[in-house]
């Protein structure tokens, strides 16, 4: 009678130890990225929170603006929409070098030198930025986002600079 009790005890301890090790290594499902919106007005504009479980690779793309890839001069001077589209084109190229897309972006911080006057709805530079961001993220989730107006960027004719963080599964 003592032998089966010992055997049962050993089997239970081994099973518990296996479960603890598996749990410490993370969920069996592996990588996951989830976007959350808690306020109805934020849906489609930006994610209020993004969670990542078991990240494989974290990518940071910093300070992308409308500088020409050839010689660094500012493309589309005075044109927020043109500069924004050019910056997103460069961000897409940078992410692609690591096999990532805008759908993998978890956080975006945008710096602009002018959001315009009046309200968000009537301010042309801000609306051009919103249009550009909607175009860029039309096929995927919109990341957690912050926009900040500052007095100047690296070059006096730069209107926008975008930093993004992305996460990929292994």
For all residues of the chain together, what is the average pLDDT?
82
Q: Domain coordinates of the chain in residue numbers? A: 1-28, 31-168
62 versus 161: which is more confidently predicted?
161
Q: How many residues does the chain have?
A: 170
This prediction has a pTM of: 0.73
Instruction: Give just the sign of the alpha carbon dihedral 74, 77, 79, 82.
Output: negative
Indicate the CATH number for domain 31-168.
3.30.1330.40
Task: Please report which confidence band the pLDDT of residue 22 belongs to, taking 50, 70 and 90 as the band edges.
Answer: very low
Helix (H) or strand (E) holding 112: strand 105-112
Report the SS3 class of residue 147. Answer: strand
Helix (H) or strand (E) holding 7: helix 2-24
pLDDT single digits (tens) 106-146:
999 999 999 988 777 778 999 999 999 999 999 888 999 99
What is the residue-wise DSSP string for 30-57? --EEEEE--SGGGTTT-BSEEEEES-SE
pLDDT of residue 28: 53
Residue 160: is its pLDDT beyond 90? yes
102 versus 119: which is more confidently predicted?
102
């Amino acid at each position: 009678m003592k032998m089966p009790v010992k055997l049962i005890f050993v089997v239970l301890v081994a099973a518990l130890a296996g479960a603890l090790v598996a749990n410490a290594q993370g969920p069996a499902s592996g990588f996951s990225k989830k976007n959350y919106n808690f306020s109805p007005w934020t849906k489609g504009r930006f994610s209020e929170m993004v969670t990542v479980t078991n990240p494989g690779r974290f990518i940071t793309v910093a300070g992308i603006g409308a500088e020409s890839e050839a010689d660094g001069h500012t493309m589309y001077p005075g044109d927020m929409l043109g500069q924004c589209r050019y910056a997103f084109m460069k961000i897409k190229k940078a992410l692609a070098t690591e096999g990532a897309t805008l759908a993998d972006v978890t956080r975006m911080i945008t710096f602009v030198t002018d959001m315009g006057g009046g309200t968000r709805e009537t301010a042309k530079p801000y609306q051009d930025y919103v249009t550009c961001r909607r175009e860029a993220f039309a096929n995927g989730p919109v990341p957690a986002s912050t926009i900040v107006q500052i007095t100047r960027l690296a070059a006096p004719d730069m209107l926008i600079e975008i930093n993004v963080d992305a996460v990929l599964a292994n």
